[in-house]
Amino acid sequence: MTRPAVRPDLAMFEGYHSPQVEVEVRLNTNEAPGPPPRGFSEAVAAAARTIEWHRYPDRAATELRAAIGRLHQLPAANVFCANGSNEVLQTILLTFAGPGRTVLTFEPTYALHSHITRISGATPISVDRNDDFGLDVGLACSTIERERPSVTFLCSPNNPTGIVEPEATVRSVLESVDAVGGLLVVDEAYGQFAPWSAVSLLEEETPLVVSRTYSKTWAMAAARLGYALGPTWLIEELDKVVLPYHLDALKQAAGLAALEFLADMEARVSSVVEERGRIEARLIDLGCRVWPSGANFILFRPPSGDGTRVWKGLLDHSVLVRNTASWEHLDGCLRVTVGLPHENDRFLTALELVLGATS
């Protein structure tokens, strides 16, 4: 039998994976530290009993889009929903990128931006960030002017660095993108943890879209639900590309139920931000290089600079963090998700022991 050939541009492609191991404290995938309130699960269970399972779901996700719009003080026509923010990004790239077009990222950043770019058939191009992982605005804008990318990504807070892009930076990049007829995508998967949001820059004639997810602040990673906020003309184009009935009825019900627990979400965010500050302070006390984070995780480099050895040492204490030490631009670094207070205590105690053993 002759196997069918994979597309030539994907033949040597590797998928995106986040390896998991069995540990007592898992702080490597930036999930919410605890589950949603009990009332949420009960509301979803009640909604499940009313679903007409033999019927297709509401293709337009009408109620959900309207509710998300109210949350952001926008009409439903400015909201697009999908199976996690990754499907949001994929739909954007299928719509506005593709063969013969380029997509610009600023590295290091979320790996799925360039990954999905390649899957869509577009060509990824990148600009390196400064040593402090900030953006060189002049270089960014001159690259946009020269390369004229169809889509430009900004991730704020940026994953894996945690850096929040200043509003002035986003405005400058947006102006350059607009001048070349491109689209700016601001990935705000961790936006609720940050001090400001690019949602405030949305206007009907502005080529800007902001993506969000339920996975982090709403504690719904298992649901795989995300959304985009943008001009009505952009949302209309995305609706043409996405597969019909792609958002199932139970997921829509879960998304609606979550929005009834806004106060719980805000309390969860406040708790994470407080714990983030405590962890940052202790990491600095331990001699680590720490990058300022506006997300629910922290990027740091152990004083020895040997991130892999420290990662293995933490694993010996049944604490799992993300090993980014071998990633380009992130030599020797580790990324830790902010967990529950007792999990953070376990991490800090283990790290102190490991650093003492490796010094």
Q: What is the pLDDT of residue 45?
A: 96
Q: Are residues 214 and 234 in the same domain?
A: yes
Q: Are residues 116 and 183 in the same domain?
A: yes
Q: What is the pLDDT of residue 4?
A: 85
Q: Are residues 151 and 272 in the same domain?
A: no
Please check whether residue 12 lies inside any domain of the structure: no
pLDDT score of 354 more than 90: yes
Q: Are residues 129 and 256 in the same domain?
A: yes
Angle ∠(330,30,234) on CA atoms, nearest 5: 95
Assign 3 a pLDDT band (cuts: 50, 70, 90). Answer: confident
> Mind listing the pLDDT tens digit for each residue in 69-109?
999 999 999 999 999 999 999 999 999 999 999 999 999 99
Q: What is the pLDDT of residue 328?
A: 85
Assign 5 a pLDDT band (cuts: 50, 70, 90). Answer: confident
Q: Are residues 178 and 216 in the same domain?
A: yes
Span of 8-12, 134-138, 332-336 with lowest mean pLDDT: 8-12
E-only strand ranges, 83-225 = 102-107, 123-128, 151-155, 183-187, 208-213
Q: Are residues 188 and 311 in the same domain?
A: no
pLDDT score of 237 more than 70: yes
- The proportion of the chain whose per-residue pLDDT surpasses 70, expressed as a percent, equals 97
Q: State how far the Cα of 6 lies from the Cα of 8, in Å rounded to an integer.
A: 6
Q: What is the pLDDT of residue 147?
A: 98
Span of 14-28, 200-214, 218-232 with lowest mean pLDDT: 14-28
Q: Are residues 101 and 78 in the same domain?
A: yes
Q: Residue 151: which domain range?
A: 38-261
Please check whether residue 87 lies inside any domain of the structure: yes
For residue 297, the domain's CATH number is 3.90.1150.10
pLDDT score of 185 more than 90: yes
Q: What is the pLDDT of residue 212?
A: 98
Strand partners, 186: 154, 210
Read off the pLDDT of each residue in 149-153 and give the average, rounded to a whole number: 98
Q: Are residues 195 and 336 in the same domain?
A: no
Please check whether residue 126 lies inside any domain of the structure: yes
Please check whether residue 10 lies inside any domain of the structure: no
Q: What is the pLDDT of residue 111?
A: 93
Q: State how far the Cα of 56 lies from the Cα of 44, in Å rounded to an integer.
A: 18
Place of tokens 């205590």: 345
Q: Are residues 207 and 282 in the same domain?
A: no
For residue 185, the domain's CATH number is 3.40.640.10
Q: What is the pLDDT of residue 289?
A: 97
Assign 359 a pLDDT band (cuts: 50, 70, 90). Answer: low
Read off the pLDDT of each residue in 318-346 and give the average, rounded to a whole number: 95
Q: What is the pLDDT of residue 326?
A: 83
Q: What is the pLDDT of residue 205?
A: 95
pLDDT score of 13 more than 80: no
Residue 145 makes CB contacts below 8 A (sequence gap 6+) with 176, 179, 180
Q: What is the pLDDT of residue 358?
A: 61
Q: Domain ends where: 240, 261, 282?
A: 261
Q: Are residues 226 and 277 in the same domain?
A: no
Q: How many domains does the chain have?
A: 2
Map residue 126 onto helix, strand or coil: strand
Please check whether residue 111 lies inside any domain of the structure: yes
Q: What is the pLDDT of residue 20?
A: 72
Distances (CA, A) of 300 to 157, 192, 316, 332: 15, 22, 19, 9
pLDDT score of 222 more than 90: yes
Q: What is the pLDDT of residue 12?
A: 60
> Mind listing the pLDDT tens digit for each residue in 250-299?
999 999 999 999 999 999 999 999 999 999 999 999 999 999 999 999 99
pLDDT score of 151 more than 70: yes
Residue 119 makes CB contacts below 8 A (sequence gap 6+) with 10, 90, 93
Please check whether residue 43 lies inside any domain of the structure: yes
Position 313: which residue type? Answer: G
Q: Are residues 209 and 276 in the same domain?
A: no
pLDDT score of 126 more than 80: yes
Q: Domain ends where: 199, 232, 261?
A: 261
pLDDT score of 318 more than 60: yes
Angle ∠(26,30,31) on CA atoms, nearest 5: 80
Q: Are residues 91 and 135 in the same domain?
A: yes
pLDDT score of 180 more than 90: yes
Read off the pLDDT of each residue in 210-219 and give the average, rounded to a whole number: 96
Q: Domain ends where: 261, 296, 314?
A: 261
Please check whether residue 2 lies inside any domain of the structure: no
Please check whether residue 28 lies inside any domain of the structure: yes
> Mind listing the pLDDT tens digit for each residue in 238-264?
999 999 999 999 999 999 999 999 999
Q: What is the pLDDT of residue 7?
A: 78
From the number of C-beta atoms within 10 Å of its C-beta (0-12, 13-18, 19+), residue 94 rates as middle
